[in-house]
């Protein structure tokens, strides 16, 4: 059951970067235990929005409430996990050494290290130095850090980039399992076929929300066979309507 109070609530969020407004007044909620997909072309503002959710982005105006507190509050530090696009792990340490280090920094239980290595499927590479991992393994090591401490909200910036279809599927299964246990996930992607695995989709374009809803409902509303078609339909519709 999803709880009635949303895990994330964003109202009229405006962000300026490099002297230019890049998020133009976004509003949306993410229910607890939902997997929200953030989709849109490169540069549309996905990373900026995620930075605002974890509280590392200076915002011009609007509010971002996470688990009942303003984004970035001290009390949220252990309750929110964030995996950035560029891996934060140390290249000269092994996978296990990295996770032990981050577990101690985050105050996560030591037993978490083995759990998260298993969850991301890096068991066979646990003692490998990060510099020698493949791109996909590196991605998963980075994701494992975000899973330490079992945060209630996971914000994952393109976690499946560079992974083969089998690994991508495994990771989406993990996201689903985490959501079933009550974790809320915000996952960005620019791969449309991944969007169908989410509970809710936020389609973004040029710093605005084009659509917000369940993948099936978006397909139905636009009459498109797939989400790629739905996305294109919405862009055309928007272009044709007076704003
Ligand atoms: N440090 C920065 N200074 C100035 N402008 C920036 C900065 N970082 C991002 N931007 C601009 O903000 C806008 C949104 O960028 P953002 O990284 O949020 O997009 P994105 O949707 O995550 O793209 P991608 O999928 O390529 O990661 C872009 O126009 C980008 O050029």
Cα of 186 to ligand 1 centre, how many Å?
18
Cα of 43 to ligand 1 centre, how many Å?
5
State how far the Cα of 22 lies from the Cα of 185, in Å rounded to an integer: 23
The reply to whether ligand 1 has any atom less than 6 angstroms from the CB of 44 is yes
Phi (first) and psi of residue 19, to 5 degrees: 80, 10
Helix spans in 19-81 (H):
46-54
Interface ipTM:
0.94
Give tens-digit pLDDT for 39-97.
Answer: 988 899 999 999 999 999 999 999 999 999 999 999 998 899 999 988 889 999 999 99
Query: For residue 124, what are the contacts with CB-CB under 8 A and spacing of at least 6?
Result: none
CATH of domain 34-56+71-240: 3.40.50.300
Q: What is the pTM of this model?
A: 0.92
Of 125 and 192, the structure prediction assigns the larger pLDDT to 125
Pocket test for ligand 1, best of 44, 59, 157 (most atoms within 8 A of CB): 44
User: Whose Cα sits closest to atom 11 in ligand 1?
Assistant: 17
The reply to whether ligand 1 has any atom less than 6 angstroms from the CB of 45 is yes
Query: For residue 138, what are the contacts with CB-CB under 8 A and spacing of at least 6?
Result: 87, 89, 130
The reply to whether ligand 1 has any atom less than 6 angstroms from the CB of 17 is yes
Nearest to 158 by CA among 52, 49, 76, 73: 49
**Domain locations along the chain:** 34-56+71-240
Phi (first) and psi of residue 91, to 5 degrees: -70, -25
């Amino acid at each position: 059951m999803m709880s009635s109070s949303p895990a994330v609530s964003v109202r009229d969020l405006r962000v300026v970067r490099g002297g230019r407004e890049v998020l133009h007044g976004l509003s949306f909620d993410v229910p607890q235990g939902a997997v929200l997909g953030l989709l849109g072309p490169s540069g549309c503002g996905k990373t900026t929005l995620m930075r605002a959710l974890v509280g590392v982005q200076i915002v011009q105006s609007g509010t971002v409430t996470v688990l009942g507190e303003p984004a970035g509050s001290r009390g949220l530090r252990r309750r929110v996990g964030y995996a950035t696009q560029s891996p934060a792990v140390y290249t000269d340490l092994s996978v296990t050494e990295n996770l032990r280090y981050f577990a101690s920094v985050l105050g996560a239980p030591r037993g978490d290290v083995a759990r998260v290595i298993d969850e991301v499927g890096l068991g066979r590479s646990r003692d490998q130095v990060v510099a020698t991992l493949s791109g996909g393994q590196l991605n998963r090591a980075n994701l494992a850090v975000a899973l330490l401490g079992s945060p209630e909200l996971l914000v994952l910036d393109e976690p499946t980039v560079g992974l083969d279809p089998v690994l991508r599927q495994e990771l989406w299964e993990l996201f689903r399992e985490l959501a079933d246990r009550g974790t809320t996930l915000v996952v960005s992607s620019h791969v449309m076929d991944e969007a169908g695995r989410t509970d809710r989709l936020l389609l973004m374009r040029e710093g605005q929300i084009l659509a917000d809803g369940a993948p099936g409902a978006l397909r139905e509303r636009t009459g498109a066979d797939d989400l790629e078609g739905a996305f294109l339909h919405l862009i055309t519709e928007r272009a044709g309507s007076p704003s």
